[in-house]
């Protein structure tokens, strides 16, 4: 009986302590975020719903390895950001960018055109992109928060005809 109790006790100790120790040299791994530039202020850029700060150590380039400078950051551009640490839980969230890589493929350019049309539309002013997707008809469905009116907005964008379509909601609520 004592042996069985000892084995059981050792089994519980093994369960609670785990199978091995974890030693991490770098507890903050790099993370990647892809989005669109909608604001630029001094050394910060708003990409979707995250303000990324940057400095002279931040690498800025295109996906074709062309080096860029702060002055060359354009609104509505699609960018892949690499950053360390987590995102601060505020709205918009905040993080420090290590690398900004501006995407130049054809699909990114089409998405940029859709975002740019929304940003230039006089009905919207402080656009914070939430999502973008292309539907089977070739139109883009864009969801964003307009901070000036504190509302979530959903629009359809026809890039070929330079049109932003705001669906009519017929809810009776």
Do 51 and 96 share a domain, yes or no?
yes
Of 75, 102, 129, which residue is a domain's last? 102
Measured on CA atoms in the order 48, 57, 59, 112, is the torsion positive or negative? positive
Contacts with 44 (C-beta within 8 Å, 6 or more apart), sequence order: 51, 52, 53, 54
Domain check: are 90 and 113 in the same one? no
**Quick check: is 43 in a domain?**
yes
Q: Beta-strand (E) ranges in the chain?
A: 30-41, 44-47, 50-53, 59-62, 78-84, 93-102, 127-134, 140-146, 151-158, 163-165
One domain, residues 66 and 117? no
Give the CATH number for residue 145: 3.10.450
Give, for 126, the enclosing helix (H) or strand (E): none
Same domain, 98 and 110: no
In the structure encoding, which two tokens stand for residue 28, read together? 């903050």
- The pLDDT value recorded for residue 171 is 55
Structural domain span for residue 114: 106-165
Structural contact between residues 63 and 102, judged by C-beta atoms closer than 8 angstroms? yes
pLDDT of residue 3: 53
Q: Which of 102, 121, 139 is the last residue of a domain?
A: 102
Reply yes or no: is the peptide bond before residue 92 cis, omega within 30 of 0.
yes
Q: Answer whether residue 172 is part of any domain.
A: no
In the prediction, which pLDDT does 7 show?
A: 44
Residue 23 included in any domain? no
The pLDDT score that the predictor gives to residue 168 is: 72
Domain identity same for 49 and 80? yes
Count Cα atoms within 13 angstroms, Cβ side, for 134.
Answer: 12
134 assigned to some structural domain: yes
| Number of separate domains in the chain | 2
Q: Tell whether 47 is covered by a domain.
A: yes
Last residue of a domain, one of 67, 82, 102: 102
Query: CA-to-CA distance for 69 and 88, rounded, in angstroms?
Result: 26
Domain co-membership, 55 together with 112: no
- Both 38 and 98 in a single domain? yes
In a domain, 170, yes or no: no
The pLDDT, as a whole number, for residue 10 is 45
Q: How many CB atoms lie within 10 A of CB 28?
A: 10
**pLDDT value for 84:** 83
Tell me which residues of the chain have a pLDDT lower than 50. Answer: 4-27
pLDDT given at position 27: 38
Residues 123 and 62 in one domain: no
The β-bridge relationship of strands 163-165 and 50-53 is unpaired
Are 96 and 111 within one domain? no
Q: Please report whether residue 59 resides in a domain.
A: yes
């Amino acid at each position: 009986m004592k042996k069985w109790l000892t084995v059981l006790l050792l089994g519980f100790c093994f369960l609670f302590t785990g199978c091995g120790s974890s030693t991490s040299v770098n507890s903050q791994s790099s993370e990647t975020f892809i989005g669109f530039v909608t604001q630029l202020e001094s050394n910060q850029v708003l990409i979707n719903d995250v303000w990324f700060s940057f400095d002279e150590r931040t690498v800025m380039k295109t996906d074709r390895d062309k080096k860029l400078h702060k002055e060359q950051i354009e609104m509505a551009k699609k960018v892949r950001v690499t950053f360390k640490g987590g995102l601060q839980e505020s709205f918009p969230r905040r993080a420090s960018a290590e690398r900004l890589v501006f995407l130049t493929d054809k699909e990114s350019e089409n998405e940029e055109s859709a975002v740019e049309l929304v940003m230039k539309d006089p009905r919207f002013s402080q656009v914070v992109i939430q999502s973008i997707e292309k539907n089977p008809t070739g139109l883009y469905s864009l969801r964003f928060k307009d901070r000036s009116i504190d509302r979530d907005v959903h629009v359809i964008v026809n890039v070929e005809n330079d049109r932003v379509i705001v669906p009519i909601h017929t809810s009776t609520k």
